[in-house]
Amino acid sequence: MNPLPGDLFARRLRQERERLGISQAELARRMAALLGTNVDSTAITRIEQQTRAVRLDEAVAAARALDVPLILLISEDPAAECVAQLQQYRAELVLARCEWEKNGLEIQRLTRAVEVLTSDMEALPSDDSSPASLDPGLREAIDARVPAEGKPFGDGPATHQGT
């Protein structure tokens, strides 16, 4: 008969804690810090002895405190579970790399557009308001509507008629 996840958890919790060389009190202290609540070392003792069930939040905190994936503490075959998780991470990594490459291409496109516009702006005359930079026909149309220097707008023949 397959052991229950709680039984596996109790056994693996002790194995991982001893592998790291930490006491039950130290594990309780680390879990308390993660949970933001008091965890008594006797709770760890009772969980490892299977006289007390572990709560889900405690199981997650214990895995984090031991710096191991939770699946390692509850799986009968942690190697198979780790392989499955590794495959999942690899798939996520492939997707992330594709997104990164897509973003890199977008950065290159925008960089080229900025470079072209910068080059075009540098080729323009430095004084954009200079009459020499305007099309002659446009310059004549503007001159016909703008009053000569020194004359108030609306005086003389350069005023716009019809308004």
Q: Are 47 and 54 within 8 A, CB to CB?
A: yes
Phi and psi for 20 in degrees, rounded to 5? -80, -15
Q: Which CATH architecture is the domain 5-76 placed in? A: Orthogonal Bundle (1.10)
d(CA 70, CA 85): 11
How confident is the model over 38-46, as a mean pLDDT?
95
Q: Is pLDDT larger for residue 22 or for residue 156?
A: 22
> Which tens digits make up the pLDDT trace of 100-139?
999 999 999 999 998 888 888 887 776 555 545 667 777 7
> Which tens digits make up the pLDDT trace of 79-92?
766 777 788 889 89
pTM higher than 0.85:
no
Contacts of residue 16, defined as CB under 8 A and 6 or more positions apart, other chains included, come to: 66, 68, 72, 73
- pLDDT(159) > 50: no
- The domain limits of the chain are 5-76, 77-124
pLDDT at 161: 47
d(CA 76, CA 82): 11
